[in-house]
Structure 1
Amino acid sequence: MSAVFSANLAKQLLEFTPKVIGFPLAKVPFSLKAKVISQLLRVLLAPQTHLDELNFLEDKWVAICVEDLQLAFEVSFDGQWQVRPLTDAQVTFSANSAELILVAAAKEDPDSLFFQRKLSIQGDTELGLEVKNLLLSIEFATMPAPIRLSVAKLAAAIERLQIEAKPTSILAKLASF
């Protein structure tokens, strides 16, 4: 019975933690969120910026929707990062926070998530593929240490919870013997 309890607790943590985080996040003014997002993009994509690999984003807007956090915004790049509320993006990426963290930590492949319907890409397919390839070009090992360590710890916790959330199927198999 403890395995069932543990599995249920893990499922609840995976489901309710984003809601708990999303509530105060919703109270933060968009201007502050936009500033943090643009600074984060500037740091994470600095090598691509210096190599002029972001030109394809000029005059294009990419929407990011973190569904379980109720966080949605659009980004563009014209020599500097621009962030705005959702209006009229050419392509939209939507997923829950756990999947996005696993992708950022290089623990999950965006294509796999797409085919499992855990990542949605809508709009301009060509732009979406360019953005996906850009994100895949970010070397996890070269991220600044505070970001890399935080993402790695979150990804490890998510993976443990996902494993813990599955013992009910193992118990069902054992019960059938």
Structure 2
Amino acid sequence: MSFRFTNSVAKNVLGLAPKVATQSLAVVPEKAKMNVLAKLLSLTLSEQIKFGELDFLQSKWVAISVMDIGLHFEISFNDELLLRPLTQADVTFTANVPELLLVAAGKEDPDTLFFQRKLKIEGDTELGLEVKNLLLGIELESLPKPARLTIEKLALTLQTLQGYSSEQPQASA
């Protein structure tokens, strides 16, 4: 009896979380979302900015589409990170929150997700590979402690829920 409850609860949480996030994000004005994202990304990429590792993004736009929560934006770099709503990007990365979270936590390889069609990269392939390599070079340990701990805890929770939701009930003897 407890197995079905755990399996059912895990599936419900995994299905409900994106819906709640989508509804929550829908009430936040676009400008506020862009400002918060810009600050978070600037903080996350501060080392890469400091060492000029984002210079390849000058005059280039990378779109990020997080489909399951309806979050879409473009990012570029010109002495600072620039964010805007979707318009016309040079390359587009499309995925859902679970996949992005597991990549950020170092629990999943983006190439594996790409071949499983859980991560899509469309447009300028060379630019897409540069962005992917930049992101793979970000050490989780280099992130500010609150961001690192949040990513680690969310990834662990996600993996636990995915494990429970995919288990099959055992036949009783």
Q: TM-score, normalised by structure 1?
A: 0.93
Is the aligned partner of 1:25 residue 2:25? Answer: yes
| Partner AA of 2:15 in structure 1 | E
Give the secondary-structure state (helix, strand or coil) at the position aligned to 2:134.
helix
Find the counterpart in structure 2 of residue 119 from structure 1. 119
Find the counterpart in structure 2 of residue 97 from structure 1. 97
Q: Answer whether contact 1:105 1:151 (CA < 8 A) is retained.
A: yes
Deviation (angstroms), 1:161: 0.2
Mapped to 2, the partners of 1:108 and 1:15 lie a distance apart of 20
Find the counterpart in structure 2 of residue 110 from structure 1. 110
Find the counterpart in structure 1 of residue 171 from structure 2. 175
Deviation digits for residues 54-95 of structure 1, max 9, x if unmatched?
Answer: 111000000001111101000000111111110000111111
Structure 2: segments with no counterpart, 5+ residues: none
**Change over 3 Å in CA distance of 1:176–1:124 after alignment to 2:** farther
Deviation (angstroms), 1:176: 10
Find the counterpart in structure 2 of residue 138 from structure 1. 138
Give the secondary-structure state (helix, strand or coil) at the position aligned to 1:165.
helix
Q: Answer whether contact 1:65 1:71 (CA < 8 A) is retained.
A: yes
Aligned length: 173
Q: Answer whether contact 1:4 1:167 (CA < 8 A) is retained.
A: no
| Partner AA of 1:18 in structure 2 | P
Is the aligned partner of 1:49 residue 2:56? Answer: no
Q: Percent of aligned positions with the same letter in both sequences?
A: 53
Deviation digits for residues 91-140 of structure 1, max 9, x if unmatched?
Answer: 11111111111111111111111111111111111000000001011110
| Partner AA of 1:12 in structure 2 | N
Mapped to 1, the partners of 2:79 and 2:34 lie a distance apart of 16
**Change over 3 Å in CA distance of 1:3–1:176 after alignment to 2:** closer
Is the aligned partner of 1:58 residue 2:58? Answer: yes
Give the secondary-structure state (helix, strand or coil) at the position aligned to 1:175.
coil
Find the counterpart in structure 2 of residue 128 from structure 1. 128
Structure 1: segments with no counterpart, 5+ residues: none
Mapped to 2, the partners of 1:109 and 1:26 lie a distance apart of 30
TM superposition outliers: structure 1 runs of 4+ over 2 Å = 174-177
Mapped to 1, the partners of 2:99 and 2:111 lie a distance apart of 12
| Partner AA of 2:53 in structure 1 | E
Deviation (angstroms), 1:5: 3.0
The 5 A counterparts of 1:129-168 are 129-168=129-168
| Partner AA of 2:106 in structure 1 | A
In angstroms, what is the RMSD of aligned CA positions? 1.4
Find the counterpart in structure 1 of residue 35 from structure 2. 35
